[in-house]
Structure 1
Amino acid sequence: MKNKVKISILILSLLPLLAWAEDGSRLWLRFSDKPQQSKEIITTHRSPTMDIAEKELASHWNGKPVELRLDKKLKRLKDGYIIQSDKDKICLSAGKDAGLLYAAYHLLRLQQTGVDTENLYIEEIPSYDVRILNHWDNLNGSIERGYAGRSLWKWEELPGKLSPRYQEYARANASVGINATVLNNVNASPQILTGEYLHKVKALADIFRPYGIKVYLSANFSSPKVLDGLPDSDPMNKEVRAWWKNKVKEIYRLIPDFGGFLVKANSEGQPGPQDYGRTHADGANMLADALKPYGGIVMWRAFVYSPTKDDRAKQACLEFMPLDGQFRDNVIIQIKNGPVDFQPREPFNPLFGSLKKTAEMVEFQITQEYLGFSNHLVFLAPLFKEVLDSDTYSDGSGSTVAKITDGTLRPAKVTAISGVVNTGDDVNWCGHHFAQSNWYTFGRLAWNHQLTSEQIADEWIKMTFTPDEAFVKPVKEMMLTSREACVDYMMPLGLHHIFSSNHHYGPGPWEEQLHIRRDWTSRYYHNADAEGLGFDRTKTGSNAVAQYFPPLDDTYGNIVTCPDNLILWFHHVPWKYKMKNGRTMWDELCYRYDAGVKQVREYQKIWDSMQPYVDEQRFQEVQAKLRLHARDAVWWKDGCLLYFQTYSNLPIPYDIERSAYSLEEIKKVRPDIRIYK
């Protein structure tokens, strides 16, 4: 009996600590739970979406009364809203129910981040019409480039059993204005379009709809042939066109607000119209014609990664520019942010702005395929902003990627932006607590691309952890510098795609002949030799610089004016070439790698000092990730410098930490299988 009393006392003593335990499952949605009287939330009408908005405010709002006012005359706001306060109440006005839900979340965000809500006038119009997540989830539950567990979608249980996480997912997206989702991998299985799976998709669409989220599907171009035995899937075959028309009709009968298709065609072995001698426009237009009566769209990916003797970075422009003006108005060309493949740093894709008569949208990668998976702390807002704010000069100075894609410079029937999401069924959703910030960041920038990285980091930290400035300031600095640190310890000065091809995680600049295709080897991209390092894309090389508008073609094409952070992307640079800071290229390369390592080690110190402000579970889990992160940064630095030194034959500066291992030992290192989920 005495022992039971002692145990009870121990449990009671631990309750405060247990109550403060966090597993990350609540994401940034840690609103106050102070209940309010229902009369303090005034609504003008009822709908499932309005019910959610009212419930969120009734459960979490602590201020003056709030009125939710639907005004269909406010069409100019699209699905945006106005928040206006007076002495008696705060009025949320919108032209659509979804706008009122977004306004409710905005108001709660202001409260959560400590903003004064007494004198408000806020008008928000989203930057993009379609703000969409791309899931690379497979029907067997695996996720391509997923590092946070298995798929959220339990296809084997649907439609009969519905996970509570489906609604939690929808709520998280709505809280940052994401209004669309592609459920399946772009390397799509035709099976997703069968009647069995469409009923499963319907079950998800029904859950997402009240949160303002439309469902889209990745379509396999060979579906007519594979599913129903048609002789081919030629877009000019009347039987094939009829098949798609009937399939789309079947989908809309089940899901009246279905958004449309995402298509990866004739890339990395995926089927497409070129299999039949047709063009991307022929294939996209066939699907667009089937969708048009229902208001659906086609997002046709420009990632045309197929074998070529030309520079891989040139492929998108070479294939799509001749087709400009041939696409239907409900087709949007979905373009990766850079010309190769989601690298830690790339110049913006030159296809942006080059299509004068065709709608374009940006595709970002939220999941960190090339940035340390869910093990490295890399805040992606600076990367996203760098691309969106890049001036293409396509329509003169100021023709940024953002203005080209948001309808400012190129009016389009529908504007869109996409992000390959990093969610999985891990308790904390993203594998790393700080990786949640990149999901949040994409939503906030898709809603308003004029937000700064600093603003987004500040919001997320205060909502996810604490508004205490003693925590916010150092952690924000850590986040804001993390992308540049990643570039430094992985691929500084414009180096790219020198990962191990087996896993895209650790270094592999030594890989030369592992595959049939040259562009599947690291050497194809870095071209190290006794003379220097880098890919010559000038007029004397692949001439990829010619795909950029003046003055960028000359800026990038001249080694003197090319920015140092892209110099090895566009030039084969001599080892002793004098950089803008006076160092030789070799020394600068060494110091950049070293700076990245030092920065990550500094993050460890910062985080350790934050222990008093963070619950123990999340503190320890982030601490463990940072230990792994620091180890990996050293792996990258040592492996790359020792390898490139075999070509430069120059000493590593004396004040840089020496490797504890030889190059041959490092080449044998394989990432611990535990990095995979």
Structure 2
Amino acid sequence: MKILSKHILALLLIFSCRLSADDGSQLWLRFPENKKGISADKIFVKNSSPTLHIASRELMRYWQGQSVELRISKSLSGLKEGYTIISDRNKITITSAKDTGLLYGVYHILRLQQTKAPLTQLNIREKPAYDVRILNHWDNLDGTIERGYAGHSLWKWEELPDKISPRYEEYARANASVGINAVVLNNVNASPEMLRTDYLEKVKTIAGIFRPYGIKVYLSVNFSSPKILSHLQNSDPLNKEVKHWWKEKTHEIYQLIPDFGGFLVKANSEGQPGPQDYGRTHADGANMLADALKPYGGIVMWRAFVYSPSKEDRAKQAYLEFVPLDGKFRDNVIIQIKNGPIDFQPREPFNPLFGALRKTAEMVEFQITQEYLGFSNHLVFLAPLFKETLDSDTYAYGKGSTVARITDGSLHKAKITAISAVANVGEDPNWTGHEFAQANWYAFGRLAWNPDLTSEQIADEWIKMTFTDNPRFLAPVKNMMLTSRETAVDYMMPLGLHHIFAAGHHYGPEPWGDYKEGRPDWSPVYYHQADSEGIGFDRTNTGSNAISQYFSPLNEIYGNIKTCPENLILWFHHVPWNYRMKDGKTLWEELCYKYDTGVKNVREYQKLWDRMAPYIDAQRFTEVQTRLKTQARDAVWWKDACLLYFQTFSKQPIPYDIERPVHNLDDLKKIKLNMGHHN
């Protein structure tokens, strides 16, 4: 009877847990509400500011430990927005030169409390690796989001400045909790209307909500704004009228928003206007804007994503356009460089521009939104991708010249350092569409503060804060997250394959895509180069010679098929179908087994997740379960499409211990989805 009653009790506990609903809106900020409330006399704050008010409020609501003192000390100015946390038996003291640093320190101890880390004998010293830790929103004025998979934009432009959504402050709080301190509000494919006075008034309202959370607002600007908004003859950056227009417009912005951060610019790329329209250089355009911003301390983030139609290998273009301009940019210009040389692919080598610009500040641009990784349908934890780039050794200043050390100022001095990522949030209740996509927003914030953190540390924190610290949930789910990026690479584009997505929307496979009427470098066949001999893009000195853009010894390593990392072999080499890989398989066999492994892993994720039902709420469990079903179907779609298509060139059988294709190639070629466009 006792055994039976225990069994029933366990079932009831599971059932009650499964009945509860959770829409995911709390993100990782699930601090247990402090029912008793820490008494005000346990929080010591000498100074006062809106930011310190927020810090105190967070402690009053959620802190359950000993007394906390928040102390401003200019002697710690070397830590920038960083802080120290020292604890003794009776009190924790958080000290910073800035009130934002104290807010970050409060979120640090709340994170420690939430993850059940020890809170005694704390001796913590934190300094952010980057000055500007920025999210780029690809949000449009009509409320749509380019490459957004979590509903419409958070920004309700038609309602502002009169009506204010409570989500503006919730969003600011989430960013501050992971140290993100800057936001570009609008799409890099910018509308000139963004700079109209009525819109700037709306921006002022958002900036006012963000300010106490330590977040500065930036805007993407359209280079043709003077001509379009004020009917100037042109937008030539050397035209005195144009320069004057930008100075006046910048002055207007700073009158409204004194701490405005600056401009993000996409110019002369994919049809966007820019200085080259007038025979000028990227430096001419960037410097004109930099001069307008200089009196106010603003910066220009000028994107290096500059692919225009060219006979040159697309992977080489950014380097070819920017290296000749090195040293010609003002010191408040930062070149914003995508992590890889093509476009946010599931795997790319790092962009060779990192370290190549010796006299110009450089910053990384990552993509949190999953444009090329299954949108918000696929579970792909991006910390390993971010880390792969940040930890890559460029050899620009000798061994140990990682992308992180070049961009954070430790190897390459810059007036201001920055790191950016394209946001994945929208108005969905859970912010990001997929519950696990929240982890990618969290991971970017944590790595922007400290790129030395490991993917495992970040996943561990996030799971404990978002779901539960129960080891039966934590260990398997962490393993799923940590392997998920490699799994996606396997079922989409293993061994260095890239950009074989369906056109325009980039969801699903289309390796047969050959858009003869458009630009060749938007066609999958341009990238995989499959023929009867083999597959892959020859970027060695017998091909496009893109390897020459990398420092020694990388150019030799990548250029030699025997030493090239196999996970990039088809990026740098056109490899024969029967080439023997390191494990003894032929390239064709290796490709088949990689796709099959990807499919099998997603199915294992499904089984794993189904076993997690007892540990979390029913709503989030079901939402993730539903998306994993879609991901498993998509993985099979990718495997069948790619193997059946590439088999028409290899003329070899799919190994018999691999699951047979369930689709016909002709049927797969007929699939057409109707979605978005490039960025």
In the alignment, the residues of structure 1 paired with residue 441 and residue 547 of structure 2 have an alpha-carbon distance, to the nearest angstrom, of 33
Q: Which residue of 2 aligns with 1:302?
A: 304
TM-score (structure 1 length as normaliser): 0.97
Q: Which residue of 2 aligns with 1:48?
A: 50
Q: Which residue of 1 aligns with 2:134?
A: 132
Q: Which residue of 1 aligns with 2:263?
A: 261
Matched, 1:409 2:424: no
Q: Which residue of 1 aligns with 2:118?
A: 116
Q: Trace 1:552-571 onto structure 2 (pairs within 5 A).
A: 552-571=554-573
Q: Trace 1:322-337 onto structure 2 (pairs within 5 A).
A: 322-337=324-339
Q: Which residue of 2 aligns with 1:285?
A: 287
8 Å Cα contact 1:241-1:286 kept in structure 2: yes
Q: Deviations over 1:57-107 (max 9, x none)?
A: 110000000000011221011000000001110000000000000000000
Name the SS of the counterpart of 2:113 in structure 1.
Answer: helix
The one of 194, 198, 201 equivalent to 1:199 is 201
Question: How far apart are residue 670 of structure 1 and its match?
Answer: 3.7
Name the SS of the counterpart of 1:418 in structure 2.
Answer: strand
In the alignment, the residues of structure 1 paired with residue 157 and residue 671 of structure 2 have an alpha-carbon distance, to the nearest angstrom, of 37
Q: Trace 1:457-472 onto structure 2 (pairs within 5 A).
A: 457-472=459-474
Question: How far apart are residue 642 of structure 1 and its match?
Answer: 0.1
Question: How far apart are residue 19 of structure 1 and its match?
Answer: 8.2
Q: What letter corresponds to residue 33 of structure 1 in structure 2?
A: E
Question: How far apart are residue 502 of structure 1 and its match?
Answer: 3.3
Q: Which residue of 1 aligns with 2:26?
A: 26
Q: Trace 1:254-653 onto structure 2 (pairs within 5 A).
A: 254-513=256-515, 515-653=517-655
Name the SS of the counterpart of 1:217 in structure 2.
Answer: strand
Q: What letter corresponds to residue 32 of structure 1 in structure 2?
A: P
Question: How far apart are residue 515 of structure 1 and its match?
Answer: 3.7
In the alignment, the residues of structure 1 paired with residue 539 and residue 293 of structure 2 have an alpha-carbon distance, to the nearest angstrom, of 40
8 Å Cα contact 2:364-2:407 kept in structure 1: yes
Structure 1 residues 549, 17: closer, same or farther in 2, change over 3 A? Answer: closer
8 Å Cα contact 1:42-1:67 kept in structure 2: yes
Name the SS of the counterpart of 2:264 in structure 1.
Answer: strand
Question: How far apart are residue 469 of structure 1 and its match?
Answer: 1.0
In the alignment, the residues of structure 2 paired with residue 18 and residue 530 of structure 1 have an alpha-carbon distance, to the nearest angstrom, of 54
Q: Which residue of 2 aligns with 1:3?
A: none
Question: How far apart are residue 672 of structure 1 and its match?
Answer: 8.8
Q: Deviations over 1:254-287 (max 9, x none)?
A: 0000000000000000000000000000000000
Unmatched 5+ stretches in structure 1: 1-12
Q: Which residue of 2 aligns with 1:81?
A: 83
Structure 1 residues 581, 18: closer, same or farther in 2, change over 3 A? Answer: closer
Deviates more, 1:516-525 or 1:480-489: 516-525
Deviates more, 1:18-27 or 1:664-673: 664-673
In the alignment, the residues of structure 1 paired with residue 170 and residue 542 of structure 2 have an alpha-carbon distance, to the nearest angstrom, of 54
Question: How far apart are residue 15 of structure 1 and its match?
Answer: 12
8 Å Cα contact 1:83-1:90 kept in structure 2: yes
8 Å Cα contact 1:515-1:521 kept in structure 2: no
In the alignment, the residues of structure 1 paired with residue 52 and residue 278 of structure 2 have an alpha-carbon distance, to the nearest angstrom, of 49
8 Å Cα contact 2:323-2:357 kept in structure 1: yes
Name the SS of the counterpart of 2:124 in structure 1.
Answer: strand
8 Å Cα contact 1:266-1:304 kept in structure 2: yes
Question: How far apart are residue 673 of structure 1 and its match?
Answer: 7.9
In the alignment, the residues of structure 2 paired with residue 243 and residue 356 of structure 1 have an alpha-carbon distance, to the nearest angstrom, of 32
Name the SS of the counterpart of 2:364 in structure 1.
Answer: strand
In the alignment, the residues of structure 2 paired with residue 198 and residue 280 of structure 1 have an alpha-carbon distance, to the nearest angstrom, of 26
Name the SS of the counterpart of 2:357 in structure 1.
Answer: coil
Question: How far apart are residue 20 of structure 1 and its match?
Answer: 3.3
In the alignment, the residues of structure 2 paired with residue 360 and residue 593 of structure 1 have an alpha-carbon distance, to the nearest angstrom, of 36
8 Å Cα contact 2:14-2:614 kept in structure 1: no
In the alignment, the residues of structure 1 paired with residue 379 and residue 154 of structure 2 have an alpha-carbon distance, to the nearest angstrom, of 23
Structure 1 residues 18, 472: closer, same or farther in 2, change over 3 A? Answer: closer
Deviates more, 1:363-372 or 1:496-505: 496-505
In the alignment, the residues of structure 1 paired with residue 340 and residue 16 of structure 2 have an alpha-carbon distance, to the nearest angstrom, of 48
Q: Deviations over 1:507-539 (max 9, x none)?
A: 000111354211111100000000000000000
The one of 218, 221, 230 equivalent to 1:219 is 221
Question: How far apart are residue 41 of structure 1 and its match?
Answer: 1.1
Aligned length: 662
Name the SS of the counterpart of 1:111 in structure 2.
Answer: helix
Q: Deviations over 1:284-310 (max 9, x none)?
A: 000000000000000000000110000
State the superposition RMSD in angstroms: 1.4
Unmatched 5+ stretches in structure 2: 1-12
Matched, 1:96 2:101: no
The one of 641, 656, 662 equivalent to 1:654 is 656
Q: Which residue of 1 aligns with 2:8?
A: none
TM-score (structure 2 length as normaliser): 0.96
Q: Deviations over 1:133-166 (max 9, x none)?
A: 0000000000000000000000000000000000
Q: Deviations over 1:543-593 (max 9, x none)?
A: 000000000000000001000000000000000000111110000000000
Q: What letter corresponds to residue 194 of structure 1 in structure 2?
A: R
Q: Which residue of 2 aligns with 1:174?
A: 176
8 Å Cα contact 2:169-2:209 kept in structure 1: yes
Name the SS of the counterpart of 1:146 in structure 2.
Answer: coil
Q: What letter corresponds to residue 319 of structure 1 in structure 2?
A: E
In the alignment, the residues of structure 1 paired with residue 226 and residue 582 of structure 2 have an alpha-carbon distance, to the nearest angstrom, of 57
8 Å Cα contact 1:342-1:365 kept in structure 2: yes
In the alignment, the residues of structure 2 paired with residue 437 and residue 507 of structure 1 have an alpha-carbon distance, to the nearest angstrom, of 26
In the alignment, the residues of structure 1 paired with residue 517 and residue 510 of structure 2 have an alpha-carbon distance, to the nearest angstrom, of 14
In the alignment, the residues of structure 1 paired with residue 234 and residue 194 of structure 2 have an alpha-carbon distance, to the nearest angstrom, of 19
In the alignment, the residues of structure 2 paired with residue 51 and residue 15 of structure 1 have an alpha-carbon distance, to the nearest angstrom, of 41
In the alignment, the residues of structure 2 paired with residue 592 and residue 212 of structure 1 have an alpha-carbon distance, to the nearest angstrom, of 45
In the alignment, the residues of structure 2 paired with residue 15 and residue 209 of structure 1 have an alpha-carbon distance, to the nearest angstrom, of 44
Q: Deviations over 1:308-358 (max 9, x none)?
A: 000000000000000000000000000000000000000000000000000
In the alignment, the residues of structure 2 paired with residue 410 and residue 100 of structure 1 have an alpha-carbon distance, to the nearest angstrom, of 29
Name the SS of the counterpart of 1:73 in structure 2.
Answer: helix
8 Å Cα contact 2:17-2:614 kept in structure 1: no
8 Å Cα contact 1:600-1:630 kept in structure 2: yes
Question: How far apart are residue 659 of structure 1 and its match?
Answer: 1.2
Question: How far apart are residue 118 of structure 1 and its match?
Answer: 1.1
Q: What letter corresponds to residue 31 of structure 2 in structure 1?
A: F
Question: How far apart are residue 379 of structure 1 and its match?
Answer: 0.1
Q: Deviations over 1:388-444 (max 9, x none)?
A: 000000000000000000000011100000000100000000000000000000000
Q: Which residue of 2 aligns with 1:7?
A: none
Name the SS of the counterpart of 1:74 in structure 2.
Answer: helix
Structure 1 residues 15, 633: closer, same or farther in 2, change over 3 A? Answer: closer
Name the SS of the counterpart of 2:75 in structure 1.
Answer: coil
In the alignment, the residues of structure 2 paired with residue 231 and residue 471 of structure 1 have an alpha-carbon distance, to the nearest angstrom, of 63
Question: How far apart are residue 671 of structure 1 and its match?
Answer: 4.8
The one of 184, 188, 191 equivalent to 2:190 is 188
Q: What letter corresponds to residue 76 of structure 2 in structure 1?
A: L
Q: Percent identity?
A: 71
The one of 68, 71, 75 equivalent to 1:69 is 71
8 Å Cα contact 1:190-1:227 kept in structure 2: yes
